[in-house]
Amino acid sequence: MREIHTGLIARIEGHGKVSIVLRGDVLENVKMQVVEGSRFFETLIKGRPWYEVPTILMRICSICTADHNLAAVRAVENAFEVEVSEQTRLLRELLMHGSILESHFLHIFFLSLPDLLGFPSALAMKKYYPEELERGFRLKKLGNDVQRVVGGRAIHPEKSKVGGFTSLPTENQLANLKRRIVLALKDALHTVDLILTQDYAEIRDSWGIYSCLMPGRNYDYFGDRILLGERVYEVSRYGEVIVERPISHSTAKRSTTKDGKPIMVGSLARLNLIWDKLPPMAKECYKNSDRFPSYNPMENILAQAIETVASLERCVEIIDELITRGIRNEKRIEIKPKESRGFGAVEAPRGTLYHDIAFDSSGKVKACNIITPTAINTYHMEEILRKEVKVMLSEEKNDEEIKKMSEVIVRAYDPCLSCSAHVIRIKE
Amino acid sequence: MSSIRKVRIKIDDLEVLADPEEKVLDVCRRLGIHIPTLCYNPLLPQERPGSCRLCMVAIGKGEKVYYREACKTPVRSGLEVHTNTPDLHSLRRDIVEFLLARHRRNCWDCPISGNCPFVELCRDYDVECLTVCAECPLQGEECLLSQGEICLGPLTYFGCGAPCPKQGHYCFGCRGLVPHEDIIKSAVEVYKSKGIDLQKVVERMELFSYSSEVIEKFCEIAGVRE
């Protein structure tokens, strides 16, 4: 019996490693271990008033801050039956696209592209791909700036509150932003081309169970219904889509479908399921790439690149609409707390994020459950690794090659392991 | 030298003979009396800016005391100078605070910045605890406290540039609370004058500084339960 350990995987968010257990030459087990300490967020918001919930919960992550914020905001609004104005809705969507741009470009240029181009790190690419690297920095900054204008800060957008925003961006700021976004579209299209010309490892996901939220009219990352393959569920019934149980070798819970199959969420899942909602340019990229629907998790990075094009297009549309409507100085909606339970879900860059919060009659949190996209993806990762390691062993690859390939596979999912560490079971 | 008549002045109850050309600061330096300065540099041309105002000294005695910059005040006969009184100390401390409020504080925790005279000065005068209010541009009616929001600006370490109050969002103390008794006392006064429920302030402080000493001290001064 021997074990192959990858050690802590570099170039992902959070701490995780892959352990491969072998008996002789036969594969016994593959463990995707999240070694991040428990975060206790679900417990530490117990007893806090409703207006602090988004503030606390968005600190779960420093990359998808806007997504956690909006998921929590939507959960609180869902609980207290608040309807926000059209302007707030548009601004929230803009904030969301900012977060998608920032996170996707970070992953594409600095975490995954070095794997595809064969470099040990993004900085090592500087000599051979200086333009690409510079483009990466520029595009990521744009994502941050969209969040800064709408949310008030590049991370942890404090302006976004339950019922609306504390202050609104000026039309001038939005117009400036739009100018930069239009320029960035060309960069984003170049990025798609760059990724299309690379070769991926051929991996096939034989289950092909994908899930995402059903969007409204546009490709907007919000939704009140969940798509699981062909089936549709209300967000409040998320427990039927995803079944979680704690496992011994990881601080992330294992999420499966009801019949125990792994689910994949994220860019690839979204493109496979709701590609017909993509804006025109992104749809063209999607069709021209000729790779979709794809069952290869390695193509997640291509899906992300196409999504950034879609987000940039939507940003332009939203800003145009906001400017034609004119920014109205709206007050936040007054909240009347009551005893209830709220569900909020958004499509974070890495997949569907669920916040489920129960309040008592004074508006204090009674119970909370959060399911993050990476927590859903870890089981899928594990199963794909199990399959691939078996193939690699039959091809008699050495340990170093197996280790390297495992890391590449894990990285392709763009995991955010620190978010995924939620091991507490909440009983109401 | 002997042709110039010397004048007799008194510095910290010490009778001194000085050149009428000299300024008070020069005499003090000659005698080894320490007066803090930032803008004064003997290598610079004669015209002294007198802009840091740290070399303030007390001139006169009893009720007729007035404060002048030592670097620009010429010596004259019968001048009575005090360089170190409690009033002067608090005056200089205020000046350091004002300077710090307009200072980029990025270098503050940098280990290389150990020889920065300004940082040393701040440590000497115990000024490392300015609050977010010092950086916040909202004044009077605009102040979030006046609008009834429970803002922790008066209690929180500065250095962030007050991004939240600028965006209309109350400060919730994410940089940590200042453990200085003066600051807590003045904060309690501010909250009382704005008619804000102190119990709710404590609740908000717990968000980022749960069970900190500052909360204990605040409760003690404000007379509320934890």
Three-state secondary structure of chain A? CEEEECCCCCCCECCEEEEEEEECCEEEEEEEEECCCCCCHHHHCCCCEHHHHHHHHHHHCCCCHHHHHHHHHHHHHHHCCCCCCHHHHHHHHHHHHHHHHHHHHHHHHHHHHHHHHCCCCCHHHHHCCHHHHHHHHHHHHHHHHHHHHHHCCCCCCCCEECCEECCCCCHHHHHHHHHHHHHHHHHHHHHHHHHHCCCCCCCCCCCCCEEEEECCCCCCCECCEEEECCEEEEHHHHHHHCEEECCCCCCCCEEECCCCCCCECCHHHHHHHHHHHCCHHHHHHHHHHCCCCCCCHHHHHHHHHHHHHHHHHHHHHHHHHHHHHCCCCCCCCCCCCCCEEEEEEEEECCEEEEEEEEECCCCEEEEEEEECHHHHHHHHHHHHHHHHHHHHHHCCCCHHHHHHHHHHHHHHCCCEHHHHCCCCCCCC
Question: How many helical (H) and strand (E) elements, i.e. helices and strands, does chain B have?
Answer: 7, 5
Tell me, rounded to whole angstroms, the distance of Cα A132 from its chain centroid: 23
> Which class is domain B7-96?
alpha beta
Residues making up chain A, counted from first to last: 428
Which chain A residue has its CA at the smallest distance from B161's CA? A153
Of A56, A153, A166, the CB nearest to B168: A166
The reported pLDDT for the residue numbered B94 is 85
Task: Specify the long-range contacts of residues A85-92, CB closer than 8 Å, at least 24 apart.
Answer: A85/A164, A85/A330, A86/A325, A87/A322, A87/A325, A87/A327, A87/A328, A87/A330, A88/A164, A88/A165, A88/A330, A90/A318, A90/A321, A90/A322, A91/A150, A91/A165, A91/A168, A91/A169, A91/A322, A92/A160, A92/A222
- Looking only at the bridges linking them, the beta strands covering A243-245 and A160-161 are unpaired
pLDDT band at B113 (very low <50, low <70, confident <90, very high): low
Asked if B169 and A153 come within 8 Å (Cβ–Cβ), the reply is no
Give all domains of chain A, ordered by start, each with its CATH number.
Answer: 41-420 (1.10.645.10)
Entry pTM? 0.81
- Provide, as residue numbers in chain B, all residues whose Cβ is less than 8 Å from the Cβ of A48: 207
pLDDT for A332-382, tens place per residue? Answer: 899 999 999 999 999 999 999 999 999 999 999 999 999 999 989 999 999
Distance CA A96, CA A167 (A): 17
Q: What is the dihedral of CA A136, A142, A148, A151, to 10 degrees?
A: -100
Asked if A166 and B172 come within 8 Å (Cβ–Cβ), the reply is no
Distance CA A222, CA A232 (A): 15
CB B9, CB B25: distance < 8 Å: no
pLDDT for B117-137, tens place per residue? Answer: 787 788 788 776 678 888 888
For A328-358, letters b (16+ CB in 10 Å) and e give: eebeebebebeebebbbbbbbbbbbbbbbbb
Is the dihedral angle over the CA atoms B161, B166, B167, B172 positive or is it negative? positive
- Secondary structure letter of residue B157 according to DSSP: B
Of B167, B172, B207, the CB nearest to A159: B167
Asked if A152 and B167 come within 8 Å (Cβ–Cβ), the reply is yes
Measured CA to CA in angstroms, residue B83 lies from A40, A91, B32, B223 at distances of 56, 59, 12, 39
- Looking only at the bridges linking them, the beta strands covering B7-11 and B80-82 are parallel
pLDDT for B60-82, tens place per residue? Answer: 887 788 898 888 888 888 889 99
Residues 6+ apart with CB under 8 A from A201: A298, A405, A408, A409
**Residue-averaged pLDDT of chain B:** 84
Question: Which has the higher per-residue pLDDT, B161 or A137?
Answer: A137
Measured CA to CA in angstroms, residue B26 lies from A64, B18, B30, B77 at distances of 60, 10, 6, 16
For A76-89, letters b (16+ CB in 10 Å) and e give: bbbbbebebeebbe
Asked if A55 and B172 come within 8 Å (Cβ–Cβ), the reply is yes
Place of tokens 């998790």: A297
Distance CA A216, CA A86 (A): 14
Identify residues of B whose CB sits under 8 angstroms from chain A CBs: 163-164, 167-169, 172, 203, 207
Q: How many CA atoms lie within 13 A of A318 on its CB side?
A: 28
The reported pLDDT for the residue numbered A235 is 93
Query: Which residue numbers in chain A have pLDDT < 70?
Result: 422-428
The reported pLDDT for the residue numbered A426 is 43
Is the predicted pLDDT of residue B207 greater than 50, yes or no?
yes
Of B169, B203, B207, the CB nearest to A158: B169
Identity (one letter) of the amino acid at A364? K
Is the predicted pLDDT of residue B166 greater than 70, yes or no?
yes
Asked if B207 and A48 come within 8 Å (Cβ–Cβ), the reply is yes
Tokens of A277: 């909602």
Of the listed ranges A183-187, A196-200, B14-18, B37-41, the one predicted with least confidence: B37-41
Distance CA A294, CA A210 (A): 11
Asked if A166 and B169 come within 8 Å (Cβ–Cβ), the reply is yes
Is the predicted pLDDT of residue B112 greater than 70, yes or no?
no
Distance CA B113, CA B140 (A): 37
- Provide, as residue numbers in chain B, all residues whose Cβ is less than 8 Å from the Cβ of A159: 167-169
Domain with CATH 3.10.20.740 in chain B: 7-96
- CA of A157 vs chain B CAs: smallest distance (Å): 10
- CA of B223 vs chain A CAs: smallest distance (Å): 23
The reported pLDDT for the residue numbered B2 is 52
Tell me, rounded to whole angstroms, the distance of Cα B132 from its chain centroid: 15
Q: Give the percent of chain B with pLDDT over 90.
A: 16
Distance CA A160, CA A165 (A): 5
Is the dihedral angle over the CA atoms A406, A409, A412, A414 positive or is it negative? negative
Distance CA A363, CA A216 (A): 30
